[in-house]
Amino acid sequence: MQTDTRALHNRLARIEGQVRGLQRMVDEDAYCIDVLTQVAAVQTALEQVAVQVLDSHVRHCVADAVAGPDEAAADERLDELMAAVRRFAKVR
């Protein structure tokens, strides 16, 4: 997991830089559509973070619980997972 954590940290550091860039654009009164394009780029980068975390969570925490002997714990992990997927997919 070390490599994953480092990759995730780096992605987030880049996102932090993008958000600072957005503040500069706003301060310099950049054209609205250019600001929106940059916001969309940050949103895409954040989605990639969420996908990476979700992917690793499903393959490790959830898979381990489901393969383990404690059925109640497995069910709890699955409920939690589906709640996270619903929130991620912005289910109304």
Per CB under 8 A, residues contacting a second copy are 5, 8-9, 12-13, 15-16, 19-20, 22-23, 26-27, 29, 32-33, 35-37, 39-40, 42-44, 46-51, 53-59, 61-63, 66-67, 74, 78, 80-82, 84-92
Q: Which long-range contacts (CB under 8 A, 24 or more apart) does 83-88 make?
A: 84/54, 84/57, 85/54, 88/50, 88/54
Cβ burial, residue 87 (10 Å; 0-12/13-18/19+): exposed
- Cβ nearer to a second copy, comparing 72 with 82: 82
Residue 71 CB, shortest distance to a second copy, in Å, is 10
